[in-house]
Structure 1
Amino acid sequence: MTPSDPALAPASGGGLPPPSALELDRRAYRRRRSQRSVLLAIASTVVFAAIVWVSVIQTPGWAAVQEAFFDPRIALEALPKVWDGFLLNLQVLGLSVITVSVVALVVAVLRTLRGPVFFPLRVLAAGYTDLFRGFPFIIVLYLVGYGIPTIVGERIEPVILGVMAVTLTYSAYVAEVIRAGIEAVHPSQRLAARALGLGHAQTLRHVVLPQALRKMTPPLMNDFISMQKDVGLISILGAVDAIAAARSEVSLTYNFTPYVVAGILFVLLAVPTIRVADWYTARLQRREQAGSIL
């Protein structure tokens, strides 16, 4: 076959050669599959909505459920107070993210120290993570919220007590995630860094942690989502947060709609983080399947 062969000649205008018949068939097949998937998704959604309509909304008890949990008037009346309390939850969450990050990183580094001289520190860090991963968070809240003010003999703001309780509990979880990420980095990376003259701290900062962070991000986001929910428990310390404000409104109206309002606020806070976690996990999976360097 010579270069003058019509099969090798470029398309008119100097563009790419026209697609072959086989490629056109493949494109048509993918287009049909895509259309079929869209139609199936629409049909399944309609069927599911019909089942919900018949089995839930059309039942005799739905009117009572709607009145007790989904009253729009009570929701609008309770929203300002619940929102003010929700801002307190956000304050505790923001402070806890900082304190948990610092404490968890220190604990994780202590657990990864090499050498027999650091054995007491490793045992102390391991005991901390074992203890507070086993303690239910609500018990930690009670111990911190009522025990520490009793010991010091002074009143402490519920926000500070809530941050302390969240930090003690979630630092143990996050420290284990960080430690697993650090140990997932191949030992040859440390050896290469030490061969270049970097010390232990420099190796950890410039070589190990940047690689470990990519593997740690999805589980760290999951811990962050759990933290978002658990800050709602600080109401047991006397803080007027979203849950406490909703409980106050419920006691006045004898209607549970304010609880639903508070729950929706927490869901709206968590949804962006969940979507980012899913996107980042899928991105990492695509890069691994493509053979990219992580």
Structure 2
Amino acid sequence: MTSHSPSALELERRAYRRERERRSVLVAIVSTLAFAAIVWLTLFTTPGWAAVQQAFFNPQIALEALPRVWEGFLFNLQVLAVSVVTVAISALLLATLRTLPGPVFFPVRVLTAAYTDVFRGLPFIIVAYLIGFGLPTIANTRIPPLWLGVLAITLTYSAYVSEVIRAGIEAVHPSQRLAARALGLGYVQTLGRVVLPQALRKITPPLMNDFISMQKDVGLISILGAMDAVRAAQIEASQSYNFTPYVVAGILFILLAIPTIRLTDWYTARLRRREQAGSIL
């Protein structure tokens, strides 16, 4: 049994590709070092950098503020965990109602469209004010900030996410529905077993982007009086007359978002490779 040996042309192509890869790595290293040197010379050596570092990046104040900011950040995570569930359920229900076929469901489709238009148009901070201060006034009772924050986030983000889900449902080819109905599946069975699995595969990247936005907006529940990371940073900053606690809170939110951002990039690249696999020769 003879082993296959690459031709001289193939060996030449492999050597050329290796040379290109080495050159690309070298150029990337040189450009990174040059950029770092420019940043160092234009930023860290300026006369005002010492004042900026003292006001925003004071290590001692950061360590002193971290325990209280971290305790508030855990409250943000609680609101986020509950909101993910409520937004997913509400958005799926809204998307299903808006895609109901037939003239008899026209009022339902109009109402869901009006809901998504209103809450996609309203800034989240206005929704938070209306829910956080208006709802307890109407109910004449005290409502925990946790549930006020969850309600405000659910009302806003269910409108965004429902539109993403609806776009995914409508992107599934009608032949899939017709084939499922020809097999005897009802509307609900067709939606749950045929349409939604294909739709969710297509809309996962934009859904993950909405989740990243939700992670950031959770920090706005501080206006409801909740002792979250932003409010804790505000208290620490008012006591130390320094803005470093805000930077600490921002870093915690960044660390929360980075894994989701990288996962979104990885899944998007994986989905693109799967879709383009048949077109690469």
Class of the TM-score when normalised by the shorter of the 2 chains: over 0.9
The offset of 1:174, in angstroms, is 0.1
**Paired residue for 1:221, among 195, 202, 208?**
208
Q: Is 1:193 the equivalent of 2:180?
A: yes
- Give yes or no for the alignment of 1:153 onto 2:136: no
Could you say which residue in structure 1 is the equivalent of 2:39? 52
TM-align CA RMSD: 0.8
Question: Percent identical across equivalent pairs?
Answer: 75
CA distance in 1, matches of 2:222, 2:10: 63
The code of the aligned residue for 1:55 comes to T
Q: Please report the TM-score for the alignment, with normalisation by the length of structure 2.
A: 0.98
Whichever residue aligns with residue 266 of structure 2, its letter is: W
Give the aligned residue type for 1:257. Answer: T
Gaps of 5+ in 1: 1-8, 11-15
Please report how far the alpha carbon of residue 291 of structure 1 lies from its aligned counterpart in structure 2 after TM superposition: 2.9
CA distance in 2, matches of 1:216, 1:89: 26
User: Which residue of the other structure, out of 146, 168, 178, is the alignment partner of 1:181?
Assistant: 168
Q: Which runs of 4+ in 1 moved over 2 A?
A: none
Distance 2:4 2:257 in 1: 50
CA drift at 1:19: 1.3
Deviation per CA, 1:48-72, whole angstroms, max 9, x where unpaired?
0011011100100000000100011
The aligned runs of 1:85-104 (5 Å cut-off) are 85-104=72-91
Who is 1:239 aligned against?
226
Letter in 2 for 1:38: V
- Give the Cα separation in 2 of the matches to 1:80 and 1:61: 29
How is 1:241-280 mapped onto 2 (pairs within 5 angstroms)?
Answer: 241-280=228-267
What is the CA deviation profile of residues 85-121 of structure 1, one whole-angstrom value per residue up to 9, with x for unaligned ones? 0000000000000000000000000110000000010
Query: Does 2:116 match 1:140?
Result: no
Who is 1:120 aligned against? 107
Q: Tell whether 2:62 aligns with 1:75.
A: yes
Deviation (angstroms), 1:20: 1.1
d(CA) in 2 for partners of 1:135 and 1:105?
21
- Structure with the greater alpha carbon radius of gyration: 1
Instruction: Tell me the alpha carbon deviations over residues 220-246 of structure 1, each in whole angstroms, 9 at most, x when there is no partner.
Output: 000000000000000000000000000
Q: Secondary structure at the match of 1:59?
A: coil
TM-score (norm 1): 0.94
2:278 counterpart SS class: coil
Unaligned 5+ runs, structure 2:
none
Give the equivalent residue in structure 1 for 2:52: 65
